[in-house]
Structure 1
Amino acid sequence: MSAPAPAPGSESLLPAVAVITWTEDDKACSARWRSERGAQPPKRVVLADDTLAADAAYRLACEGTALLWRGDFQNARQLLQALARRVDKPAKPARRKTVQTPDSDDAGASAAAPADAFHRHRQAQAQRARVLGMVLVQLDAGYGIALRRAPDVRQACTEAWGAPEPDAGDAVVSLREVLGLIGAHEWRKKGVEVAALGEPPGNRIHPHYGVFSPVRGEYVSLVAQMPLPPTGESPFTAFDIGTGTGVLAAVLTRRGIHRVVATDQDPRALACAKDNLARLKLQATVELLQTDLFPEGRASLVVCNPPWLPARPGSPIEGAIYDEGSQMLLGFLKGLAPHLLPGGEGWLILSDLAEHLGLRTRAWLLAAIDETGLKVLGRADTKPNHPKVLDETDPLHRARAAEITSLWRLAPAP
């Protein structure tokens, strides 16, 4: 059922939340608008059901018209898949005459600069998200979906958004986001096996919605294998900066470190880390703290795995991937020395993907380390083995195939 629009003059009594409006049965209707991407509610909304053809839906979505679904839920999923096929269909290259000259470089002419390819890829991904985000569904106050063959998404929504507020009324959200909630719920139940944590079943990390999953196991293995700095501190203390799921804090604890302080700014991440550490029975060793980068005090070891790409996040949920202006990386480097005990080390986990994409150079990184009063003690490298490394259809395949993940051992320069 759609919610009627508020009576004139009552708007001041409502909380300052985003609202989406539409017309149904000749009545003005409205509901709260939810978007993890931070998207504004669409201005044009039409009702849609199983009779809507995919081509017509695609045209409306590209024009910025949202489709509030009133048909069968599974048919809406199929429509979303049809829209995705249309968005992903390669554009036909324009025909043009080429003039060969003795100085022409065929390889250079045919291959775009890596940074240009990256920015075009991100633009395409943003456009894809906008188009696919135009298929909407309505949730009641308890996160139920009143559509035929709709799944029960109440638990998935509660995990991501918290317990429903009985007086909050209905909400409208993109179908793509609802499917993301369902997928995150399944990942949370199943967990991700992390070899560095030992043998199953006690080696699983359960990511929460909105928290980056440790599917890139190569960087976890680097932390598990690198010898600890022999500071003589007892009990040995380590800081895990930007803990996320808590996987690195768990690995450090399993290595025998007696005290780990794990920090993060995101309440979702801290809740996720708390859950994982409790599952692994490590909660007594790890202190969780909501703060920007460093806790108070000094440690023998400070570990940080910042987002690897220096670009602006397209949505809040992309904050674990993109670090605009390398802010977290630079913040870690600038603040490291005062938080290390004599003989202590900072371990920076960083991929060189940004270098292969032309977003950052190795010279820039080395200069940043030098300018913050640090020196490089050593480095351990490993090759990633995730599926995109082998996917030649990926627009960024060349950069991904050359990628190296490194653990940089840093210490204050004399």
Structure 2
Amino acid sequence: MARFTFTFAFMAATVTSAMQLNVDTTSKTSSAAGTLASNLMNYYTDSDNGVLPQPYWWWESAGLWSTMVQYWHYTGDSSYNDAVTSAIAAQAGSGQDFMGTNALGNDDQLWWGIAAMTAAEYKFQAPSSGSSWLRLAENVFDEVQGRWDTNTCNGGLHWQISSSASGYSYKNAVSNGLFFQLAARLARYTGDSKYTTEATTIWNWVHSVGLVDKSTYRVYDGTDSSEGCTSLDHDEWSYNVGVYLYGAAVMLDHTGDLATWQPHVDGLVAAASAAFTSTEGILHETQCELDGTCDTDQLSFKAYLSRWLAATAALVPSTATTIKPLLSASVEGAIASCNGGPDSSICGFKWTTDTYDGTQGVGQQLAALEIVQGLLASSSPLPSAASKRKLARRFEA
């Protein structure tokens, strides 16, 4: 069976907003993504250093560049490629490892490793000097692997890099999830078994301490090593389940071990749907969206869940029957939110209100772009891998 391809006729009529976004066809979806990408890049005001202005934290800039690499891959629009290449390279630093003054947390550094990994997988335009995209990602992996702490809780990454930093004892879902996903993607891209082994080790640890619940696959925010990782912070955020979902999908694709990884993928898809969709089946940030308390970071979290849901549906087509309705309903809601600002071209945060909600920013625009361009994921070439396999024979939808 051929790879799953999204059908663009999921709505009875053309979906438009005041800025006339339209996703009825592949070409119109690419055009809509182009409008959203243009508005998003307007927030990047310093074209020399690769970092968004305040109030955006360093890690979110890395999230932006991964989005823009995929934007080029999905649409073929290279308008921003020079800026994206320069931005990622500018933050690599003298050590070519993204360990500058902004790298306070393991998750911070890993977000940049993920950006470099994305550029490597899609054969994105290389920097004129410095290390290759793959080398940058491997440098991050090597450094973070050295921080894996078996002296407390039998393993796991701490949130903070420095042991003297406040919050060091917290072993959080996103740091360990990003490390898991980076290891899985390096395994698939290089074929090197050390990455496969490390990804499996990370997964087994997060499962053992309950960051990923063994029965429900709900992903909880973190645990404290000073207490032996015996209790959990049960807050749930959409990007946490997303990062583990795509890592598990990559492991399923890379290893072909359906008995081990298919249940994990299916469980995480179900958990994402259960925890982060409204009654209309639209993605929302359950922890803070309903009461309007999302902070600047949290306003971007849906972008990454959207990204990794679409990427999972493309890589493991058996998941598409569950993921497709989530993306379809969410696209409709996201487009309806994109009618704010003086020229009716700004996207809001809430996708459940059928209109602009009065907010604007990088997170809102990033999420709208990710959910729209995600419609193109399954009809685009998959990320490069060490060996190419006929996915349809193994993961028939």
When the two structures are superposed, what TM-score results if normalisation uses the length of structure 1? 0.24
Tell me which of the two structures has the higher relative contact order, counting C-alpha pairs closer than 8 angstroms and 6 or more residues apart.
2
Q: Which has the higher strand share?
A: 1
When the two structures are superposed, what TM-score results if normalisation uses the length of structure 2? 0.25
Q: Which has the larger radius of gyration?
A: 1
